[in-house]
Amino acid sequence: MKIRISWLYVLALILICASIGSPVFADPPPPEYIQFSPSATKGALYYPDPALYPNPHVAVIIMHRNSNYLSHLGTREFPRRGFVALGMNPRCDNNEALCRPWENNALDVRSGVNFLKKLPGITKIILFGHSGGGPTMSFYQAVAENGVVFCQDPRKLVQCADSLAGLPPADGIVLMDAHPGNGVNALRSLNPAVTNDSAVLNQNREVRINPNLDPGNPKNGFNPNGPTTYSEAFKKKYFKAQADRMNFLIAEALQRWQQIEAGTYKYPDDDAFIVPYGDAARLSEADLSIHHSTVQPRKLVKNNGTIEGCCAVASVRVPTFDPEASGEFGSTIFLTIQSFLSVRAMRSTDSMDGIDWCSSNNSTPCNLQKVSIPLLVTAMGGHYFIRDSEVFFDMAASADKDFLVIEGASHGGTPCTACEQVPGQYSNTVKNLFDQVATWINARF
């Protein structure tokens, strides 16, 4: 009898040890698919391991403008640190032309916020804006805090609908290498060497290029074999020409929109808006001196996890400019009048310094001036949004705000291996980023 009891005891202990060590308890549960409305709006809900975090009370919502964030890096990393994560795709999932208007994506963020608020135990909601998620989340919170008067400002190229009234505000916002806005990105990526936009837009003509503004022309400073150095004169001329081309396109789109509203256009609702050489001509991808570093000393999260705050932080990125890419159809703005004005248009006099930030709702700097909740701005040290992040960090109205640069991280948060001087130099970027974000959240919520 004694022997049988001992065997039972041993068997029980073995099974308990096996179960504790099994993947079921070592990993979070699988993500649950959540269908929102309209049909294109989707979500995937990730919980932390209940054995380690039985009562999570903070939920993070992660969404872009049109990219698939259902399995974004954060959906894995946040649950590992005890947070619930909801990866979402909005109504213009996988289709920027369906952002008609982009402002309505805020209704999808609202669906996610309301869903999370109803989950048992969840008391705090954090908006996580990575890349194009930055304008998305900052716009949502600005409207939630200030009402539709914010997004119906007559200076905006597109005014939001009244249906955006009453958005429930979130409790905190984290930006991860957020860009300043799709409109600004488009402005800085436009190839300003095109001389015949009117004929291209109206008669479907072949593009004519002014060689004096061609960013891929070695006479202008382009170096196909390494970092490029453009002259100050070229850069000034180029940035001014980018603003001029964008302003022309805005005028064309607005003129067509007015015809639609007047009932004199061939369609009563919208039309295609196709702009060749509309992307892949960003000078900072060739000339690393442009937007090279922060202006002020900022916090740099080193690869070993320590934080250095002594100095201005420089990007360690490498040149990525491809002079052939700009002429491909893939670099064409292939949108509609509505989606162009809503997503990819921004007024300016100079693409780098003369930007009318509040001419678009898709503008992180404009939005952050109207956001008061705690804000953490993170920038990836192996990319080119460090200086932009510093700009909108300085512009942000939040009384509780912080700014960190993750050393050697690519735009996606993973190590920029091409930036490394020695293999593994930036191996901890993901851990460092999400550890810092988790620490920031835990300290507040």
* Residue 194 vs 437, nearer CB to other proteins: 194
**Rule CB under 8 A: is residue 231 a binding residue for other proteins?**
no
**Rule CB under 8 A: is residue 25 a binding residue for other proteins?**
yes
**Min CB(419)–other proteins separation in Å:** 26
**Rule CB under 8 A: is residue 12 a binding residue for other proteins?**
yes
**Rule CB under 8 A: is residue 63 a binding residue for other proteins?**
no
Name the E strands within 90-194.
124-130, 172-176
Tokens 């800085």 appear where? 188
Q: Is 325 exposed, middle or buried (0-12, 13-18, 19+ CB in 10 A)?
A: middle
**Rule CB under 8 A: is residue 349 a binding residue for other proteins?**
no
* Residue 42 vs 298, nearer CB to other proteins: 42
What are the CA-CA distances from residue 417 to residues 43, 149, 282, 425, 436 (Å)?
A: 31, 45, 22, 8, 21
What are the CA-CA distances from residue 387 to residues 131, 183, 315, 404, 418 (Å)?
A: 14, 17, 9, 12, 21
**Rule CB under 8 A: is residue 44 a binding residue for other proteins?**
yes
Q: Which of 35, 55, 225, 304 binds other proteins (CB under 8 A)?
A: 35
Tokens 């998305």 appear where? 136
**Min CB(120)–other proteins separation in Å:** 15
Q: Binding to other proteins (CB under 8 A): which residues in 84-113?
A: 92-95, 97-98
Q: Which of 47, 115, 234, 273 binds other proteins (CB under 8 A)?
A: 273
CA-nearest of 213, 238, 218, 239 to 228 is 218
**Rule CB under 8 A: is residue 118 a binding residue for other proteins?**
no
Tokens 């960190």 appear where? 404
What are the CA-CA distances from residue 315 to residues 290, 394, 445 (Å)?
A: 10, 19, 31
**Rule CB under 8 A: is residue 304 a binding residue for other proteins?**
no
Q: Is 337 exposed, middle or buried (0-12, 13-18, 19+ CB in 10 A)?
A: buried
**SS3 of 54, please?**
coil
CA-nearest of 139, 175, 133, 173 to 158 is 139
* Residue 127 vs 200, nearer CB to other proteins: 200
Beta strands 172-176 and 272-275 are: unpaired
Q: Which of 123, 267, 297, 442 binds other proteins (CB under 8 A)?
A: 267
**Min CB(328)–other proteins separation in Å:** 5
Q: Which of 65, 130, 240, 256 binds other proteins (CB under 8 A)?
A: 256
CB atoms within 10 A of CB 160: 24
Cis amide bond preceding 169, omega within 30: no
Do the Cβ atoms of 191 and 326 come closer than 8 Å? yes
Q: Which of 85, 157, 160, 207 binds other proteins (CB under 8 A)?
A: 207
**Min CB(130)–other proteins separation in Å:** 17
Task: Identify which range of 15-23, 229-237, 398-406, 428-436 contacts other proteins by CB under 8 A.
Answer: 15-23
Quote the tokens at residue 223: 């170096």
Do the Cβ atoms of 85 and 113 come closer than 8 Å? no
**Rule CB under 8 A: is residue 276 a binding residue for other proteins?**
yes
* Residue 61 vs 143, nearer CB to other proteins: 61
**Min CB(5)–other proteins separation in Å:** 5
**Rule CB under 8 A: is residue 30 a binding residue for other proteins?**
yes
* Residue 28 vs 374, nearer CB to other proteins: 28
* Residue 194 vs 419, nearer CB to other proteins: 194
Q: In whole angstroms, what is the distance from residue 398 CA to residue 392 CA?
A: 11
DSSP label at residue 170:
-
* Residue 6 vs 306, nearer CB to other proteins: 6
* Residue 44 vs 178, nearer CB to other proteins: 44
Q: Which of 40, 119, 254, 395 binds other proteins (CB under 8 A)?
A: 40
Where does residue 82 fall: left (phi above 0), alpha (psi -120 to 50 degrees), or beta otherwise? Answer: left
**Rule CB under 8 A: is residue 3 a binding residue for other proteins?**
no
Q: Which of 52, 210, 218, 269 binds other proteins (CB under 8 A)?
A: 269
* Residue 37 vs 289, nearer CB to other proteins: 37
Do the Cβ atoms of 88 and 108 come closer than 8 Å? yes
Q: Binding to other proteins (CB under 8 A): which residues in 306-345?
A: 327-330, 332, 334, 336
- Which residues here bind other proteins, judged by CB under 8 A? 5-6, 8-9, 11-16, 18-20, 22, 24-25, 29-33, 35, 39-40, 42, 44, 68, 70-71, 92-95, 97-98, 200-207, 256, 259, 264-274, 276, 327-330, 332, 334, 336
